[in-house]
């Protein structure tokens, strides 16, 4: 692990390049994620998935993009037009702002112009709180979108957003508190260094916190067991019922960027971060971990039924929150004794 | 399974099985136990296992189900009733239809129309023969009634066309003369059964 003092100075140019990189790569990945999702879900049902646009359908993303861009942008007559228009931007923007404080790629220096590009766009000392707060603020998107579109399914969708938000947020915070206590810092870099040099991954010390965080993360990204906001079989499309074209696309980019963020947090906080593992270099490890957590979300979507809103609330407040509190108590006691 | 089991309406005599379901928990302790057992039973992972197994089956064991339809087609039953075909006699290559008009008569949607005349050998010749496929309901009566096994159903089930009422002419349905050796005997409605020879009884001469 390189000592932090030995790293070159972070310049504004480096941060800007980093920001553009994150935007480009994650937006591309988020779009590509829809293709991967369709393929994996198809394979799990022994189907082929998209096949016709490009070899094995890899250019499906381009076809979808053209469709989304050229679709008519409809704002319903009785909708609150301003809020309706900015709601998707809130979701997408907060998802990318959250990515500003997580380590996305390893740091590197651009050779000829000698600009150092850091691994985190901004390594703030309350990194975890900032990321979780931003992702939570992202739920304003669905909430406002559902209420602004004057559609009953949208209203139900935003009511469910509120329920979901009230349920999982407490679990996210409490579950990640135990690792924070052990590391004694809120910065992702400290989490990474804590698990460096052959130290055990935090998931070994904190299996309960890891499981709780995963459950809350699924709720945070509205992935399948908790995809209450837009469950097609029940409420048409929930908060996106009236959206079309690129505004709808922004919600999706936000959702997939959030999935990647949750994958990054889970890998950095619990799964050893971007440290080298045995002989595998760190950047392959972190990509592998993020890819696996992405795959896991799709795998779960293919396998498990989704829960009702009241069941989610019951689960979060009556089962997961007490477990999280007990976990924190035990962690505290063990830290006091050892 | 025989039809008798479905026709048995006497409640209590059928082969119904009573599932061995547990009673729902009533006391708080029972409810707690149910939550704990449901939490720690590996049932969720069984679900994950099933989907992963199917994915491996599909990707590596060649059990993918998808038929890429316009490029691949599933085989259809020889008894399938799609667009009609007019068959030819295998020996002479002449069309089998004798112009009897039974198919036109029996067609319940009245979509066959034909015209005939006597040719120079005083043999009936079909001059006009069209089927209006905009009205045909593919019931198969024409194939069943035809005494010569001349009109049969083929396997061409893609019937989209520019016109709502698309007609087929006699020549369109007739087996092309160069494909005569590929002509298949129809197995479906109206065809003779495979054991027809056994069922034939000799008619006594003095009858
Ligand atoms: S299949 Fe039925 S409806 Fe169609 S032409 Fe034959 S008899 Fe008429
Ligand atoms: S029933 Fe058969 S033989 Fe008679 S007119 Fe129709 S196709 Fe020809």
User: What ipTM, to 2 d.p.?
Assistant: 0.73
Distance between B163 CA and the closest CA of chain A, angstroms: 29
Residue A7 has pLDDT above 60, yes or no: no
Kindly list the residues from chain A whose CB atom is less than 8 angstroms away from the CB atom of residue B44: 303-304
CA of B138 to the centre of ligand 1 (A): 5
- Rounded to 10°, the helix A152-183/A207-220 angle is 150
Kindly list the residues from chain A whose CB atom is less than 8 angstroms away from the CB atom of residue B35: 319
List residues of A whose CB lies inside 8 A of any B CB: 40, 42-48, 51, 299-300, 302-304, 319
Query: Is residue A231 very low, low, confident or very high in pLDDT (cuts 50, 70, 90)?
Result: confident
Distance between B75 CA and the closest CA of chain A, angstroms: 19
- Reported in sequence order, the residue ranges of chain A that DSSP labels E, i.e. its strands, are 108-110, 115-117
Q: Do B68 and A51 touch (CB under 8 A)?
A: yes
Q: What percent of chain A has pLDDT over 70?
A: 90
Q: Please, are residues A251 and A92 in contact by the beta-carbon 8 Å criterion?
A: yes
Task: Provide mean pLDDT across the span A22-50.
Answer: 84
Q: List pLDDT tens digits, range A251-299.
A: 888 888 888 888 888 888 888 777 767 777 767 777 888 888 888 888 9
Q: Please, are residues A105 and A121 in contact by the beta-carbon 8 Å criterion?
A: no
Atom 7 in ligand 1: residue holding the nearest Cα: B107
Phi, psi for A312 (deg, rounded to 5): -65, -45
Q: How far is CA A152 from the centre of its chain?
A: 28
Q: Do A40 and B55 touch (CB under 8 A)?
A: yes
Least CB–CB distance from B57: residue in A46, A47, A48: A46
**Structural domain total, chain A:** 1
Kindly list the residues from chain A whose CB atom is less than 8 angstroms away from the CB atom of residue B57: 46
Q: List pLDDT tens digits, range B72-89.
A: 888 888 788 888 888 888
Q: How far is CA A142 from the centre of its chain?
A: 15
Distance between A211 CA and the closest CA of chain B, angstroms: 12
CB atoms within 10 A of CB B82: 14
- Measured distance CA(B28)–CA(B34) in Å, rounded: 10
Q: Which residue has the tokens 């870099």?
A: A189
CA B3 to each of CA A304, B7, B12, B184: distance values in angstroms, whole numbers, following the listed order: 38, 6, 18, 34
Query: Is residue A1 very low, low, confident or very high in pLDDT (cuts 50, 70, 90)?
Result: very low
CA A322 to each of CA A162, A212, A316, B160: distance values in angstroms, whole numbers, following the listed order: 21, 11, 9, 62
Domain of A134 in residue numbering reads as 4-337
The predicted pLDDT at position A4 comes to: 46
CB atoms within 10 A of CB A16: 13
Q: Quick one: which atom of ligand 2 is closest to the CA of B112?
A: 6
3-state secondary structure of B152: strand
Q: Judge if the beta carbon of residue B101 lies within 6 A of ligand 2.
A: yes
Stronger pLDDT, A103 or A140, i.e. the higher one: A140
Q: Judge if the beta carbon of residue B138 lies within 6 A of ligand 1.
A: yes
Secondary structure element (H or E) that encloses residue B126, with its range: strand B124-132
CA of B180 to the centre of ligand 2 (A): 19
User: What CATH number was assigned to the domain covering residues B84-192?
Assistant: 3.30.70.3270
Q: Please, are residues A316 and A324 in contact by the beta-carbon 8 Å criterion?
A: no
Least CB–CB distance from A43: residue in B50, B55, B68: B55
Residue A2 has pLDDT above 50, yes or no: no
Residue A8 has pLDDT above 70, yes or no: no
Mean pLDDT (chain A) is 82
Q: Comparing C-alpha atoms, which of A9, A30, A328 is closest to residue A181?
A: A328
Distance between B55 CA and the closest CA of chain A, angstroms: 4
Q: Do A303 and B35 touch (CB under 8 A)?
A: no
> If you measure CA to CA, which chain B residue comes closest to A296?
B48
The predicted pLDDT at position B115 comes to: 92
3-state secondary structure of A227: coil
Q: Which residue has the tokens 């590509």?
A: A32
Mutate to test the interface with A, among B34, B51, B68 (most CBs of A within 10 A): B51
Q: Which ligand is nearest to the CA of B139?
A: 1
Q: Judge if the beta carbon of residue B149 lies within 6 A of ligand 2.
A: no
Mutate to test the interface with B, among A42, A212, A302 (most CBs of B within 10 A): A302
- Domains of chain B, residue spans: 25-65, 84-192
Q: How are beta strands B151-153 and B84-86 bridged, if at all?
A: antiparallel
Q: Do B54 and A45 touch (CB under 8 A)?
A: yes
pLDDT in tens, chain B (207 residues): 566 776 777 777 777 778 888 888 888 998 888 888 877 788 888 888 888 988 888 888 888 888 888 888 888 887 888 888 888 888 888 888 998 999 999 999 999 999 999 988 888 889 989 998 888 898 989 988 988 888 888 888 888 878 777 778 888 888 888 888 888 877 777 777 778 788 888 777 876
Q: Judge if the beta carbon of residue B111 lies within 6 A of ligand 1.
A: yes
Kindly list the residues from chain A whose CB atom is less than 8 angstroms away from the CB atom of residue B48: 299-300, 303-304
Stronger pLDDT, A5 or B205, i.e. the higher one: B205
Instruction: Indicate the pTM of the whole model.
Output: 0.74
- Within 13 Å, how many C-alpha atoms sit on residue B92's CB side? 3
Q: Quick one: which atom of ligand 2 is closest to the CA of B86?
A: 7
């Amino acid at each position: 692990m390189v000592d932090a003092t030995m790293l070159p100075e972070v310049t504004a140019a480096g941060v800007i390049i980093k920001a553009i990189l994150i935007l480009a790569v994650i937006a591309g990945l988020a779009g590509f994620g829809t293709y991967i999702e369709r393929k994996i879900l198809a394979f799990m049902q022994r189907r082929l998935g998209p096949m016709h646009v490009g070899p094995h359908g890899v250019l499906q993303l381009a076809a979808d993009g053209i469709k989304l861009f050229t679709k008519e942008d409809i704002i319903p007559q009785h909708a609150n037009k301003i809020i309706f228009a900015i709601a998707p931007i809130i979701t997408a923007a907060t998802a990318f702002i959250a990515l500003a404080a997580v380590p996305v790629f390893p740091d590197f220096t651009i050779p000829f112009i000698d600009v150092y590009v850091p691994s985190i766009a901004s390594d703030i000392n309350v990194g975890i709180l900032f990321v979780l707060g931003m992702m939570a603020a992202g739920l304003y998107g669905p909430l406002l979108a559902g209420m602004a579109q004057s559609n009953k399914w949208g209203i139900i969708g935003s009511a469910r957003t509120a329920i979901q938000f009230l349920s999982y947020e407490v679990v996210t915070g409490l579950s990640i508190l135990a690792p924070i206590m052990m590391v004694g810092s809120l910065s992702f870099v400290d989490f990474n260094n804590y698990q460096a040099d052959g130290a055990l991954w935090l998931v070994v010390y904190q299996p309960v916190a890891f499981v709780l965080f995963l459950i809350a993360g699924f709720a945070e990204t509205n992935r399948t067991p908790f995809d209450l906001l837009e469950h097609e079989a029940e409420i048409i499309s929930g908060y996106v019922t009236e959206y079309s074209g690129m505004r709808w696309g922004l919600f999706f980019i936000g959702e997939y960027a959030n999935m990647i963020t949750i994958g990054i947090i889970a890998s950095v906080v619990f799964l050893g971060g971007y440290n080298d593992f045995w002989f595998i270099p760190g950047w392959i490890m972190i990509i592998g971990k993020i890819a696996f957590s992405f795959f896991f979300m799709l795998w779960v979507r293919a396998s498990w039924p989704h829960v009702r809103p009241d069941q989610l609330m019951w689960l979060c407040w009556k089962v997961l929150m007490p477990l999280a509190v007990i976990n924190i108590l035990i962690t505290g006691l063990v830290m006091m004794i050892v | 399974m025989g039809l008798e089991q479905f026709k048995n309406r006497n409640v209590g005599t059928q082969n119904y099985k009573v599932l061995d379901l547990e009673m729902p928990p009533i006391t708080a302790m029972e409810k707690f136990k149910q939550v704990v057992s449901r939490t720690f039973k590996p049932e969720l992972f069984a679900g994950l296992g099933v989907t992963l197994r199917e994915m491996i089956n599909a990707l590596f064991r060649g059990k993918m189900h998808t038929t890429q339809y316009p490029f691949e087609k599933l085989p259809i039953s020889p008894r399938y009733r799609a667009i009609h075909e007019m068959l030819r006699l295998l020996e002479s290559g002449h069309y089998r239809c004798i112009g009897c008009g039974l198919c036109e008569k029996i067609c319940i949607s009245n979509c066959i129309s034909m015209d005939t005349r006597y040719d120079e050998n005083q043999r009936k010749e079909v001059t006009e023969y069209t089927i209006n496929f905009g009205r045909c309901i593919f019931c198969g009566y024409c194939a069943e009634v035809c005494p010569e096994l001349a009109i049969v159903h083929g396997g061409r089930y893609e019937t989209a066309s520019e016109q709502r009422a698309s007609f087929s002419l006699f020549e369109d349905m007739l087996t092309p003369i160069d494909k005569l050796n590929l002509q298949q005997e129809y197995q479906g409605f109206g065809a003779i059964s495979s054991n027809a020879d056994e069922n034939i009884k000799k008619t006594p001469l003095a009858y």
